[in-house]
Chain A
Amino acid sequence: MNKCDHIKARLLDLDVSLPIRDATLKQHLEQCTDCAAYHAEWVALQQQLDQLPEHDVSDDVFARTLAAVNKNQVAKPQRRLNPGWATGLAASFVLVAVAGLLYNNQLGEFQADFSQAPIDGVNQSVEREEAETQNSPLVTFSADAAPEASADGFYRQRNQPIEEPASMSEKTAALAKEEQLVGDRDQDEDSSAERIVITGSRISRQDVAADLVEEEVEMPAVAVAPPLMDELQADHNSMTTASDSVVERLTKNNAHPDNVSADKALRRKPNSEALLEQLEVSRAASESPFTDDDKLDSAHKEQQQIPAGPVVEPAKPQPRLLQELGYEVPAELDRMGRENRLSAAAHMTEGKQAASASAFKPGSRGEIDRVKQKKDVSKKQVSGAGLPAPTGPDGSQRGLHAQAADAWLEQRQNTSGLSFKQATGYWANTYLPGDPQMRWIQAQLLASGLQDLPQPMDHLQPFDTPQNAPLALYVSSDLAAVDPVSTNGTRMRLQVGIQASEHQGGHRTALNLAVVLDISPQTSESAVRALLAALLKHKQPGDQISVYHTGPSGQQGSLLLKPVDFRHGPVQLMLNQLFSEPTDALQLFWPLEQVLPAAGAWLQQHDNPKAVLGSSALWLITDKDQQALPAMEYWVQQQATNGISFNTLSLSNDDPGRQLQRLALVGQGHHHVLAGITDADRVVQAQLKAASRAVARALRLQIRLADGVELIDVLGSHALNELQARQVRAAEQSLDQRMAANHGIQADRGEDDEGIQIIIPNFFAGDTHVIMLDVLVKQPGTVADVKLKYKDLIQLRNAQISQQFNLERGSRTMGQLERNVLKNHLAHHFAEAFTHAASLIRAGHTEQAIQQLQQLHDVYRGLRQRITGWQSDDELQADERVIEQYLALLRQQAMTNDGSAVWLAQALQLAGWYKHPGHGP
């Protein structure tokens, strides 16, 4: 057996629920991909084994079995005594009894009583009958009783072997009769103690003792000798102990320290924070219609989306961010920021203090900002509007660029006056591909003929695409080593990159689709025709597409086309009829509240519960936000939990479709904006492929910073508050449960992890995502442990990737990886600057926006001069050109003031969103 075979055999013996502790095994798995793959497969198989469904017997069979058992009388425990032992016991018992009687000189009385003891005739005959049929094992030790005792009679001779009843039921009946007999005799006023003793011998002395105590039969002192009484009492005590064991043993066991602690733990549990949280989550989930992962999306969306459109108020930047970016901070804003930080510091929790016990920081949620020793940090003073272009100290543009770049780099490395956040709890997800608001802005620009406005390029990330897994994890930083000199620590950007495989789920699954056309007199016929034509073009065999409408009511109801009729000819005919209706007829339309449930019912009928999520979908094509839409939210959410996603497609050129977007989020679908007839093909393709593009779901990213590493910020993200965190947890668990039900992937969520936790609902094929942390590292060694858990949609299993990031002391040289992180940080700066410039323009401060972009441009130019390998970097040069173009446009707009500022603001916001390293196209 070679080493790998041996390792594989050992892997099979491991408990997969526990981490591998054997260092040799662990090391081998890290080095040998074959064994690692084998282990992963074994874990997947074990999980499937663990979740094999339990089979259950039918209630009918269960009831019949129970009835059959109850039919037989319950049998008393019957000890099978060795005949020899039985004889010996009986003999000794008799000897003791006789000795007792002799001692009291009452043997004669005893003999007289015994010989005269009447046996009730009726009872006797019944007993005999029973004995004949049941062959009951009764014992007598008096020769005087012999007349009635025979081998076949009620009594049998001593030493005669005890025969068992023929069957359990017979035995049970016999024993029951015996009990009855004993009971009768006990209640007989004439029955003497001696008889009780005798009958007791044929059942058990314990029973007799029990009867003595329980029935309180008076025992004449003369009947039983004191030693015998003591013995009986002792037996009774022991028997009482035995009989009480059912209750008492449990009580005693519960009284055991272990069980007491378990009991306490159980009692304590409801009061524990975790359970309270769960309860609150479930309560919140029951109260809110956003109970599923749409809640996750919506929570993140609400927090993450960059405000768009002219109606949106520009987001107020945080003072610290403004300072970092080199803005003048209004005194009031700065004061508010300081107050917030001090308030947060007052809520410092003990979690932080407990961190020293561990290499990594456990702890509680919540922000903790510690304002360190505040020093005067020189800040750039933003020049007023309309000032001439600044020059450097040497009067040259080159010097100015270098100065700007140095200032930016210095500000990145600044270690004084920092405030830190607690690196625990839930943080907002920044992976938001296909933001519909950005699509809407794009459509607006397109419709306004401004599609030629420059847009920046995405940076190409140096992440290898995984071949054997849907996701890969990369951790790096912008420094290759920790500063050996600095006493304040080394400030750096820690980058966590996620790269998805290009591998998709193959061809998309067959669709079960209902299209609802919300027709009004203003609806663009050409747009509807273009959409349905695109749908026809991309329809595959197996797709079932039906069309409903909210148009005039007719005999066929709201259903326009059945799946079998979704072909070119019938579709054209249907559209001709639909748009040739007189306008008046359109007033008598089927309301949306009726059409959507009708379409939903049809989908429900044809839904395959085992199909890929999203294969059953409802598309609402409309050109307006309707009043009825908010009322439909609950219904839409119910459909989504039943596996039918709700998608919206806006035909409007001037409406951001907020209600539609919200409905799509609630319905776990997508919201699209049709930006013209030519956009129909893209929209339909994007929608059709959405279900098959996801390679992983329910991603849980955990970043644990090592002791001595302080978190300054997670760029572009923020810590979620308690309510948001609850929503995220509830959504994750809901997703977890649904994946278990639909795909058989074992549910494994519900526990919070230590460190920063980010939940990403879906991850799509070919996508790249970057999360950047601004951290202060005080000592060399481990910086962070990063773990990514996810539901693998390709191999249908739970998967996990772990990475540890370490840094040693050394010089601050930069390799390619470090430059990549720096470039991503610069892209983040670009996105922030563009977004802020857009806000400034909307607020009417165009000159400040120009200044903002000019500064950004200087930083870019200076960095290209300063950093080796960046002089001719295509991506940075392209970014620079974009900034220059916008600067020219803004200066032109400032000169002419022709009202195009709002479009430039939109374009800047879109450009900023594109450039953000975390945002998808």
Chain B
Amino acid sequence: MRIMTQTKAADTRQNRVADLEERNWLAAHLGGDQQAFAQLMQAYRKPLYSFLVRHGLDTRHCDDLFQDIFLKIHKSAHQYQASKPLSPWIFTIAINTLRDFQRKKSLHLTVVEVAETIEDERPDPEQSAHLTETMDWLEEALASLPKAQAEAMTLSMVKGMKIKDIGAMLGLPVNTIKSQLRRAKQSLMSAFQARQTQHRTQSSPSGVTHE
């Protein structure tokens, strides 16, 4: 236990050092250091892209939004105050960009729904079976959470993100974020328990092999 505690403390200190280092990237970028922004992009490419994917967006939209977000970061670089952590600032831009996109998308869909006959887009049984096999159920469950819960949950999954930061990003009180997180976890637990029950049924000795 003592070894684990020491390791955690060392990790925390390392994270702190890393945090301080990344706060200088935008200043260096503004100072003309081209490597600084590349460094920033490299550090945030996976967390940001994962954040987008976990909202159930397809690859094309994720790529577009990824570009938009980093261009916005570049354009707003002078607004960043190095006295504050960089991660929440970047994810604030990300969440706002995502919301803009979702709003535009929903407007677009509304027009389409009115204008055209809506086709049944549900996957056929074969596709469903394929989806079940290939898609990670957990990411599916995350993407199907209500929007507010999904935002809180996906942000909470970003390494080092605190509830206080999430509240500031989403403009909500900390207690509201906690409630949303709890509801999201309950939804995920329900999905998990359903899956476990299904798994046990499939693997029971009397069951048929599903391999």
User: Which A residues are closer than 8 A to B by beta carbons?
Assistant: 9, 12-13, 38, 41-42, 44-45, 48-49, 52-58, 61-62, 64-66, 68-70, 72, 74-78, 168, 243, 245-246, 249-250, 253-254, 258-259, 261-262, 265-266, 269, 274, 362, 503-510, 540, 542, 611-612, 615, 751-752, 794-795
Q: How far is the CB of A857 from chain B (nearest CB, A)?
A: 43
Partner of A75, one of B77, B157, B207, B208: B77
Please determine whether A52 and B41 come into contact, CB atoms closer than 8 angstroms.
no
Beyond A52-B136, A62-B41, A258-B16, is A69–B49 a contact (Cβ under 8 Å)?
Answer: no
Q: Would you list the 4 A-B pairs with minimal beta carbon distance, nearest first?
A: A262-B13, A507-B209, A506-B203, A55-B53
Smallest CB gap from B63: residue in A: A61
- What residues of chain B lie closer than 8 Å to A795, measured between beta carbons? 196, 199-200
Is A69's CB under 8 angstroms from B74's CB? Answer: yes
Contact present for A510 and B211 (CB under 8 Å): yes
What is the 8 Å Cβ interface bit string for chain B, positions 125-165, against chain A (1 contact, 0 not)?
00000000000101100000000000000000100000000
Report the separation of the CA atoms of residues A540 and B203 in the bound assembly, to the nearest whole angstrom.
17
Main secondary structure of the interface of B (DSSP, over half): helix
What are 28 A-B contacts defined by CB distance under 8 Å?
A12-B189, A13-B182, A38-B189, A42-B189, A44-B192, A48-B138, A52-B50, A54-B46, A54-B50, A55-B46, A55-B52, A55-B53, A56-B50, A57-B45, A66-B41, A70-B34, A75-B78, A168-B75, A246-B24, A246-B27, A249-B20, A250-B24, A265-B6, A265-B10, A269-B10, A506-B204, A611-B211, A751-B3
**Within 8 Å CB of A254, what residues of B?**
17
Measured CA separation A55–B208 after assembly (Å)? 35
Contact of A262 among B17, B74, B189 (CB under 8 A): B17
- Name the B residues within 8 Å of A53 (CB-CB): 136
CB distance A52 to B182 under 8 Å? no
B116 at the A interface (CB under 8 A): no
Contact A794 B49 (CB under 8 A): no
Cα–Cα distance between A42 and B184 once the two chains are bound (Å): 13
Which residues of chain B come closer than 8 Å to A269, judged between CB atoms? Answer: 10
Who on chain B is nearest to A265 by CB? B10
- Contact check, B50 vs A259: say whether CB atoms are below 8 A apart: no
Given contacts A65-B41, A66-B41, contact A266 B205 (CB under 8 A): no
The answer to whether A76 and B13 have CB atoms under 8 Å apart is no
- Contacts of A751 on B, CB cut-off 8 Å? 3-4
Looking across the interface, which residue of chain A has its beta carbon closest to that of B59? A58
> Which residues 7-42 in B have Cβ within 8 Å of A in the complex?
10, 13-14, 16-17, 20-21, 24, 27-32, 34, 37-38, 41
Sample of 14 further A-B pairs with CB below 8 A, known A53-B136, A250-B24, A507-B207: A12-B186, A44-B192, A45-B189, A49-B138, A52-B157, A56-B45, A62-B41, A66-B41, A66-B70, A69-B37, A246-B28, A261-B13, A265-B13, A506-B204
* Chain B contacts for A258, CB-based, 8 A: 13, 16
A residues within 8 A CB of B96? none
Q: Is the CB of B203 within 8 A of A794?
A: yes
Contact of A57 among B16, B63, B77 (CB under 8 A): B63
Cβ B74 vs Cβ A45 within 8 A? no
Cβ A505 vs Cβ B203 within 8 A:
yes
Interchain CB contact (< 8 A) of A250 among B21, B182, B208: B21
Which residue in B20, B45, B77 is a CB contact (below 8 Å) of A253? B20
Q: How far is the CA of A615 from the CA of B209 in the complex (A)?
A: 14
A362 — nearest CB in chain B belongs to which residue? B2
Which residue from chain B places its CB closest to the CB of A504 in the assembled complex?
B205
Nearest A residue (CB) for B30: A77
Q: Which residues of B contact A62 (CB under 8 A)?
A: 41, 45
Does B168 count as interface, using CB distance less than 8 angstroms?
no
Enumerate chain B interface residues (CB-CB to A < 8 A): 2-4, 6, 10, 13-14, 16-17, 20-21, 24, 27-32, 34, 37-38, 41, 45-47, 49-50, 52-54, 62-63, 66-67, 70-71, 74-75, 77-78, 82, 136, 138-139, 157, 178, 182, 185-186, 188-189, 192-193, 196, 199-200, 202-205, 207-209, 211
Tell me if B207 and A506 are in contact (CB < 8 A).
yes
- Chain A residues whose C-beta falls within 8 Å of the C-beta of B49 in the assembled complex: 54-57
**A506 CB contacts on chain B under 8 angstroms:** 202-205, 207, 209
| Residue from A56, A61, A65, A168 having most chain B Cβ neighbours under 10 A | A65
Known contacts A13-B178, A41-B189; A66 and B10 CB within 8 A of each other? no
| Chain A residues within 8 Å of B27, by CB | 77, 245-246
Q: A64-B67, A250-B24, A265-B13 are in contact. Are A245 and B205 (CB under 8 A)?
A: no
Residues of B within 8 A of A794 (CB): 203
- Which residues of A are found within 8 Å of B211, using beta-carbon distances? 507, 509-510, 542, 611-612, 615
Q: Is A245 in contact with B82, judged by CB distance below 8 angstroms? A: yes
- Which of A61, A243, A505, A794 has the most chain B CB within a 10 Å cutoff? A61
In the complex, A503 Cα to B207 Cα: how many Å? 13
Partner of A65, one of B46, B71, B136, B185: B71
CB neighbours (8 Å) of B178 from chain A are 13
> Which residues from A are CB-within-8-Å of B28?
246
Are A274 and B3 CB-contacts (below 8 A) given A245-B82, A262-B13, A262-B14? yes
Distance between Cα atoms of A243 and B27 in the complex (Å): 9
Beta-carbon contact of A74 and B29 below 8 Å: yes
State how many angstroms separate the Cβ of A4 from the closest Cβ of chain B: 14
**B71 in complex: contacting residue of A38, A61, A68, A505, CB < 8 Å:** A68
* Given A12-B186, A52-B138, A65-B66, A77 and B47 contact (CB-CB distance below 8 Å): no
Complex interface: chain A residues within 8 A of B205 (CB): 503-504, 506-507
How many Å lie between the Cα of A62 and that of B24 in the bound state?
21
Chain A residues near B46 (CB-CB < 8 A) = 54-56
B179 to chain A, nearest CB (A): 10
Contacting residue for A266 out of B14, B138, B139, CB 8 A:
B14
Q: Which residues of B contact A752 (CB under 8 A)?
A: 3
- Picked from A58, A250, A259, A274, the residue with its CB within 8 Å of the CB of B63 is A58
> What is the bound-complex CA distance between A794 and B28, given in angstroms?
53
B157 near A74: Cβ-Cβ < 8 Å: no
A261 cross-chain contacts in B, Cβ below 8 A: 13
B47, closest chain A residue (CB) = A54
Residues of A within 8 A of B50 (CB): 52, 54-56
Query: Given that A41-B189, A75-B77 are known contacts, is A65 also in contact with B67, CB under 8 Å in the complex?
Result: yes
How many Å from the CB of B10 to the closest CB on chain A? 5
- Contact partners of B3 in chain A: CB under 8 A: 274, 751-752
Complex contacts, B41 vs chain A, CB 8 Å = 62, 65-66, 69
CB distance from A266 to the nearest CB of B (A): 7
| Residues of B with C-beta under 8 A to A78 | 78
A759 to chain B: closest CB distance in Å? 18
Nearest Cβ on chain A to B99's Cβ, whole angstroms: 20
Of B4, B17, B136, B186, chain A has the most CB atoms within 10 Å of the CB of B17
Query: Which residue in chain A gives the minimum CB-CB distance to B12?
Result: A262
